[in-house]
Amino acid sequence: MGTTTTPVRIELEVSQVLQETAGDSPDNLVAAIEIYVAMNSSTKIISLLDDYMHLLRPRDSHALRSAVRFLSSRSEHRARSLAILENELEDSLQALHAITRSCFSHIDDEHNKAELSEILKLKVTTQARKSRIEQWAENVTTSASNSMGPMAFAAMMMGLPILPGVDDGDDLDMLSYFDLDQNDPDMDDIRDEYRPNLRARFDAWVEVGQKLPGGPVALVKFYVKAVEKMPYIQGQDVVNEMTSRSGLPIILSSRRYKITNSCELVYRLRERPNKTHVVDALSSLATFAKIQRKKIILAREKKQKSVAAANARAASSNTNQAKPNSKTSGNANAENAPSNSPSQSTVPSSSVRNFAFGPPLTPVSRRPLPGGMEDVD
């Protein structure tokens, strides 16, 4: 960059360097996005997202959220910011659905989905609903796996004793064996793989959607998709049962553990450290669904009240208009109706009087008209 001190020249040279190196690594891309946001360069941000957005990792979502918030302030890029928001919410939903299926592999079976649909129709506080939820949660959980896990097999080959929980197959917490330093940044990729922080990521995007122009509408659309894909989030009691029940029933050997009642132990999700991220994410999604459902109900009630008020005003206006019309029509009918007053009914026309016999009729309310029998010779 030389020794140039002109701000414009420095900005041009920095921009050139960023464009050349942004695609080299995810860290470079994050730095470039944050710098361009600070420089208020929307065109550069769009260019980076078009070319290198696929490099962003889940833990880089903070930079992407900053870009989305900045782009939403520009009317020409508002549609792009909403598209990114919808894609990230959809990606979070797919990740949560996949990780939920790892604990509840039968949750998408047709008969279990039909049973859930019937459960959601029951009243929340009834004992029948509670009992059916418990049975449903037991039916959807992943079946026990008696296969020996890779760590247990390696320990057996080396002649090492098998530690409790090592031979649990799919329930093995691989991360606990080598993630000794929680602050080691070199382990971030592995943490994203084994314990993705889906709750923080999802909550952050929901917060962005609430403040984004057009974001609340996008959140409603996402809620509809989430309920269609994961209908059990409609019932908070269903989610509570899922997160408190076993994700993976484990068969333990009675010779290694003293079990009096049964050899099958049900490990609750909340009691297993490698499943806490599932609990947190599922609970967060259920809370989001509950809030959106309340908003939809309130909006529907508000609309119904406004429609009822408009109908009442229209009916009142029609009533007020009908009263003068009735008076006018009554007057018109009175004018058109034949009158029985002497001035009209007893006074014959001139032609009638000219040919009438007998004494002439004297009008009451007007002077006598000329003509009558006195004019006849």
d(Cα 92, Cα 227) in Å, to the nearest integer?
Answer: 14
Cross-strand partners of 265: 250
Rounded Cα gap, residues 300 and 117, in angstroms: 23
What does the block give as tokens for 234? 């409609």
Nearest to 52 by CA among 42, 40, 64, 70: 64
Rounded distance, CA 347 to CA 340, Å? 11
- Between 144 and 52, the more confident residue is 52
Task: Compare 323 and 196 and report the one with higher pLDDT.
Answer: 196
CB neighbour list of residue 68: distance below 8 Å, 6 or more residues apart = 81, 84, 85, 208, 212
Domain extents for the chain?
1-56, 78-145+198-257+272-318
Distances (CA, A) of 215 to 168, 222, 288, 365, 373: 44, 10, 14, 82, 97
Alpha helices in the chain (DSSP H): 7-21, 26-38, 42-52, 61-72, 78-103, 110-120, 127-140, 150-157, 175-178, 188-194, 198-211, 215-229, 236-244, 276-336, 342-345, 350-354
Is pLDDT above 50 for 214? Answer: yes
Least confident of 202-206, 254-258, 260-264, 291-295: 260-264
pLDDT at 203: 94
- Tens of pLDDT, residue by residue over 298-331, are 988 999 998 998 888 888 887 777 665 555 555 5
Tokens of 226: 């989430």
Q: What is the mean pLDDT of residues 181-206?
A: 79
- Looking up tokens 């004019």, which residue turns up? 375
| 329-360: pLDDT as tens digits | 555 554 555 544 444 444 444 444 444 445 55
Q: pTM for the whole thing?
A: 0.68
Provide the 8-state DSSP code for 55: G
Do the beta carbons of residue 100 and residue 90 sit within 8 Å? no
Q: What is the pLDDT of residue 210?
A: 93
Q: Are 267 and 243 in contact (CB under 8 A)?
A: no
Which has the closest alpha carbon to 46: 36, 31, 57?
36
pLDDT in tens, 105-130: 888 899 999 999 999 999 888 899 99
